Structure 1
């Protein structure tokens, strides 16, 4: 929406936004309730409170270039899904998670969440306005005949204004605004895969465990960040001399994500306020052990070197012999077989929070 992203932000964004493959998770339990974690829309790595609005904005647009992943990648680039006035107000006055300037908001803003207020700070209002504007820009792009593709042209129009796209007959070149719009378009298109979820991601059942698994599954694709994340969601982490490094550099300090135990803490919060570390989570739940043959969705699984001693990893049981976890630096929140998620000899056991 605005010409703001400098070279540093672009480089950090490229470091964080890595593509991942598609995983299909089906948790089949004999409980009554069934809920699709992503609405069946093929979306992952998105905060829970944004998901339904992204899927609705996509559904309301008939342009084939519109996808949930495109909207998600754009929101991440605009605000990293931040919603506070301190974190989501730009130096030129763009506001909210979709970074609307007041004049543009007056055109596209609606009370989409029906709370009686039309506000760029409301997630529903902002995302639906983003979707309406992008859909309109895609129609203009399709009719323009300009090269580059409708997604790229629409993104350029969102960032710099459609008039600039017309001026240059396509996406403005790197020479325009120090490459801001050029890099904005390139980064969002290259990062979309991170948000492209499986066509089916279903968690069956109700209760504390399935609900926690369902919540954690909405974070599939989020990067691993040692020391990062917590009840409020992903955050940057830190390196401690041993952990958090990738190729000799401290990746954790520049990666917004979860580590294994913060993902579990986030999943159960606030219904159950588990402690922060895997070791402490084991201590808080070890009086409720679960045999391997009795595992249910949402149960916690633990690993320690040699199967004893310090607990170094925790995961959520995802059904059908799989776990959902944040494995290690350089990886993302993902589903993996229990037998290979971590060394089998390190498996300690499972508990039920």
Structure 2
């Protein structure tokens, strides 16, 4: 059912893209094995560590409840453990274990050797996330059929935290006076933070040209944080601050953030087929011999913005089709898809090139 719902939603989304500028990531590589996708499920996902992404999407896909979404699972994992996996950081005072914070007895019910390691463990990301998904799917089903009024996601989250018996006892989410408000606040926080993990939605990339390949490679990094000076052809890395750039809330965020800046993402996307230089200005210089009119843009083309002239180019993005770009926008944001008209100030747009 989940697959069918996702497919119908994707078709409807494609028909509405021109009006709504929505983008979802369904990446189709004609040279890749059939069915291989990158960048999110039907509802989309971003802002999670890469080692969690595939498992969250798999857990979501395995559940037949439409109320289950990747963002719900991601927000819950963030609240449970901040995606921590070490025994020191992901063991609670009550004895809950791993990134999904299972008590041993509960994990015995829901855990499987989903990652094929030969061991079923709450410390293995795959085992933990799939167990979380199974338990949440069951709770969503129970909540839907319970007759208890309210958002079934809230009821399921309360059941995960306090046990379904408490939901029945209170006729809903336990109030803030019960257990110091632990379950009440747990549900409230997860529901309010889901939006930060909701990914963009439908972009179909077909073909085997260098531009399409670069776009697929860049899209694999959706949700990766922006890090000024960070990133290389090998992948994301920590960056550095230069006195002006890389700061967030008065501190040098780049030095502790693993990610990409705008030009390192582009360099990563095209490497090693086309070895572009490191900075946006240098990338313009290396590709400006092949300019592309706005009406002739193709996926993979590079777009540039400047403070007045080509000598002061400050941003580069990759054209993603349908009037959208894929880029690493700025400190505090993640690699994402945005409309070309609003990705950066329209007055700063310089033009596009084709590597």
TM-score of the superposition, structure 2-length normalised? 0.70
Residue aligning to 1:261: 262
CA distance in 2, matches of 1:272, 1:137: 48
Cα distance, 1:207–1:251 mapped onto 2, change above 3 Å: farther
- Which residue is 1:12 aligned to? none
The structure-2 alpha-carbon separation of the partners of 1:311 and 1:50, relative to structure 1 and needing over 3 Å to count, comes to same
In the alignment, is the contact (CA less than 8 A) between 1:297 and 1:317 conserved in 2? yes
DSSP-derived class of the 1:95 partner: coil
1:71 shift after superposition: 1.7
CA deviations over 1:301-323 (Å, ceiling 9, x no partner): 44332123344222222235532
Q: Single out whichever of 88-97 and 259-268 deviates more from structure 2.
A: 259-268
Given candidates 74, 77, 87, the residue that maps to 1:75 is 77
Displacement after TM superposition at 1:169 (Å):
3.2
CA contact (8 A) 1:26 1:202 kept: yes
1:109 CA drift (Å)? 0.8
The equivalent residue for 2:38 is 37
Q: Deviations over 1:85-121 (max 9, x none)?
A: 5554445543333222333222211012323222223
Do residues 347 (structure 1) and 350 (structure 2) align? yes
The CA RMSD over aligned residues, in Å, is 4.5
Higher relative contact order (CA closer than 8 Å, sequence separation 6+): 1
Q: SS of the residue aligned with 1:142?
A: helix
Deviation readout 1:203-249 (Å, 9 max, x if unpaired): 223476534433543555x497564975776989979557645xxx5
Question: Structure 2: any 5+ residue segments left out of the alignment?
Answer: 1-19
Quote the residue 2:163 is aligned against.
Answer: 161
Structure 1 residues 161 and 176, CA, compared in 2 at 3 Å: closer, same or farther? same
Q: Distance in 1 between matches of 2:83 and 2:156?
A: 20
Whole-angstrom distance in 1 between the partners of 2:229 and 2:316:
15
1:123-145 CA-to-partner distances (Å, cap 9, x unmatched) read 32222111111122223323443
User: Which residue of 2 is the match for residue 9 of structure 1?
Assistant: none
Match for residue 24 of structure 1? 23
**1:349 Cα deviation after fit:** 5.3
Report the equivalent of 2:9.
Answer: none
In the aligned structure 2, how far is the partner of 1:133 from the partner of 1:279?
Answer: 46
Q: Secondary structure of 1:347's match?
A: strand
Mapped partners of 1:192, 1:336: distance in 2: 22
Distance verdict in 2 for CA 1:212–1:183, change over 3 Å: farther
| Conserved 8 A contact 2:158-2:184 | yes
Q: Counterpart in 1 of 2:5? A: none
Contact 1:288 1:351 in 2 (8 A): yes
Task: Name the structure 2 match of 1:8.
Answer: none
Matched length:
326
**Alpha-carbon distance in 1 for matches of 2:181, 2:343:** 44
- Alignment correspondent of 1:280: 279
Whole-angstrom CA distance in 2 between matches of 1:188 and 1:22? 27
Change (3 A) 1:163 1:30: closer
Any conservation in 1 of the 2:26–2:37 contact (CA below 8 Å)?
Answer: no
In 1, the alpha carbon distance for the partners of 2:98 and 2:210 equals: 32
- Structure 1 distance, partners of 2:30, 2:69, is 32
Q: CA deviation at 1:42?
A: 1.8
Pairing 1:336–2:339 present: yes
Q: Distance between the aligned counterparts of 1:272 and 1:134, measured in 2?
A: 43
Which residue, out of 178, 183, 204, partners 1:202? 204
Which residue among 319, 325, 336 is the counterpart of 1:317? 319
In the alignment, is residue 149 of structure 1 matched against residue 154 of structure 2?
no
- TM-superposed CA distance for 1:65, in Å, is 2.6
- Give me the whole-angstrom Cα distance separating, in 1, the residues matched to 2:270 and 2:122: 27
Map 1:164-203 onto structure 2 (within 5 A). Answer: 164-197=166-199, 200-203=202-205
The alpha-carbon distance between structure 1 residues 162 and 122, as it changes in their structure 2 partners (threshold 3 A), is same
Residue 264 of structure 1 contacts residue 316 of structure 1 at CA under 8 Å; is this kept in 2?
no
